[in-house]
Structure 1
Amino acid sequence: MKKNIKNKISKEPFLLEDNSLLQTTYTTDLRDRQSVRTTFNMSEKANDALNWLAKNYHITFKEVIDSLCLELSSEPKENHFLDIVAEVAKKIDSKSLGKSTRKTQVISKKSLCILKDLSKKHSIQRDLLIELSILLFKAQIEENIEKKREKHKEAGNRFSKFLAKAEAFEKELKKLLGDDDPIIMRFGIAMQIIYNLSYAIEAELKDGTPIDPDEW
């Protein structure tokens, strides 16, 4: 028994060395995650968009850029985002983006490689590639937000009509059952939940306060 335990202890530290595939994958993954500094030449619009994305998603600039690079490097058949960026890059005059400034950012080594590879493959300047990616990604998000806002606005209008009918129905129930009936009490609780949701919709449309799905 002691001999078996001794053999097991002596061999286990070398399991990773014996598994060359695991070792290579693990080492490569660590290298890809390493942070590197690189300088981008981007317009004020792109820098503002980068700040907006980081602030609204509560993530760092590095995480924004790394996420965009992963999006750009996804499978070609499904990568509509890269197609759009490449198409815009071929048509746009970089001067139209405005004055650019050099700014050093921390990104992963993998992201840096992705940008270099895609820049070479599609004949797009690296900095223009990341600039357009940031601007288009923000534009897509804002478009989705606006679409959602319009739907919530319509939902708010329907809620107003629904509440008017619900209030009229509540009055009818009170005449039928009286104020102290348990049905009226339960209905009152349901109405309060609906009122709270209606107020939440109004707040979202007015100042952008997110609707908490768990708040009743």
Structure 2
Amino acid sequence: MSETEDQFPDSNMLDLRGKQSVRATFKLSQKAIDAIGLVAIHMGIKQKSLFDHIIEDMDALDSLAKTIRIRQFKKIPRKQKTFVLSRKTIDALGTISQAYGTPRDALVEYSVKKLESIINSEKLRHKERKVLQKEVINHFNRGKELYQKAVNILGKDDPFCRRIEKAVFACQKTEKDLALFIDKSKVLEDF
């Protein structure tokens, strides 16, 4: 057994080849392109991993291919977009595309539709987050009022007040972080 085999006992060349990144260009609807970008950015998932998740399942892709109506698909206005995918995902698309005589573009377009339920769910969660953010701000404002009350009673240099002041500063940082997250999530509102 060679030294290389000792370092990677569970790997073989086909496994490693499947993890290779390749570029692939598809003609997709703007809505599909937006969905891919939105989920990747909002949820912090690399687009390659997202494609792996929605396309690599051969059984699901096989079932999906049976439902595609090419005439309807051709009516959708589409534009070219290049993505980075794993070799395994490209191979899965190629296999199903050949088996059903279905364009890879159609397989990707219809696979991306699976993301719409995730986006709609996140859209609802975004609305709830905005409501909760208001409650958090009100809570933090009560903390500021309590700090001011403590300063009026004990003085700003009192150790108790200094500790409350640290907590208020931490709350202000958290409030800014939450506002940035909510702002970043606004893209969900227009989807």
On whether the aligned pair clears a TM of 0.5, the verdict is yes
Q: Which consecutive unaligned segments of at least 5 residues does structure 2 have?
A: 186-191
Correspondence for 1:43: 28
Correspondence for 2:94: 116
Correspondence for 1:5: none
Correspondence for 2:184: 208
User: Aligned partners of 2:22 and 2:130: how far apart in 1?
Assistant: 45
Contact 1:46-1:134 at 8 Å conserved across structures: no
Amino acid at match of 1:208: K
Could you say if the C-alpha distance between residues 187 and 124 of structure 1 is closer, same or farther in structure 2, counting changes exceeding 3 Å? same
1:8-157 paired onto structure 2 within 5 Å: 12-13=1-2, 26-33=12-19, 40=26, 42-45=27-30, 48-49=33-34, 52=37, 56=41, 64=48, 67-74=50-57, 89=68, 93-98=72-77, 100=78, 107-119=85-97, 125-137=103-115, 139-140=116-117, 142-157=119-134
Could you say if the C-alpha distance between residues 104 and 194 of structure 1 is closer, same or farther in structure 2, counting changes exceeding 3 Å? closer
Greater CA drift, 190-199 or 161-170? 161-170
Correspondence for 1:180: 157
Greater CA drift, 193-202 or 44-53? 44-53
User: Aligned partners of 1:14 and 1:200: how far apart in 2?
Assistant: 48
Larger radius of gyration: 1
Could you say if the C-alpha distance between residues 91 and 84 of structure 1 is closer, same or farther in structure 2, counting changes exceeding 3 Å? farther
Following superposition, the deviation at residue 115 of structure 1 comes to 1.5
Deviations for 1:38-78, whole angstroms, at most 9, x for unmatched residues?
664x234267448736983585xxx63x64245433486xx
Amino acid at match of 1:199: K
User: Aligned partners of 1:36 and 1:161: how far apart in 2?
Assistant: 49
Given candidates 166, 181, 184, the residue that maps to 1:189 is 166
Following superposition, the deviation at residue 143 of structure 1 comes to 3.2
Aligned Cα RMSD in Å?
4.4
Deviations for 1:158-180, whole angstroms, at most 9, x for unmatched residues?
12221332233223323442332
| Number of residue pairs matched by the alignment | 180
Contact 2:30-2:79 at 8 Å conserved across structures: no
Could you say if the C-alpha distance between residues 116 and 103 of structure 1 is closer, same or farther in structure 2, counting changes exceeding 3 Å? same
Amino acid at match of 2:149: E
Could you say if the C-alpha distance between residues 88 and 199 of structure 1 is closer, same or farther in structure 2, counting changes exceeding 3 Å? farther
Contact 1:49-1:135 at 8 Å conserved across structures: no
Could you say if the C-alpha distance between residues 118 and 185 of structure 1 is closer, same or farther in structure 2, counting changes exceeding 3 Å? same
Following superposition, the deviation at residue 204 of structure 1 comes to 3.5
Could you say if the C-alpha distance between residues 15 and 48 of structure 1 is closer, same or farther in structure 2, counting changes exceeding 3 Å? closer
Following superposition, the deviation at residue 135 of structure 1 comes to 4.9
Contact 1:46-1:131 at 8 Å conserved across structures: no
Following superposition, the deviation at residue 183 of structure 1 comes to 0.4
Contact 2:52-2:86 at 8 Å conserved across structures: no
Following superposition, the deviation at residue 130 of structure 1 comes to 1.1
TM-score after normalising by structure 2: 0.63
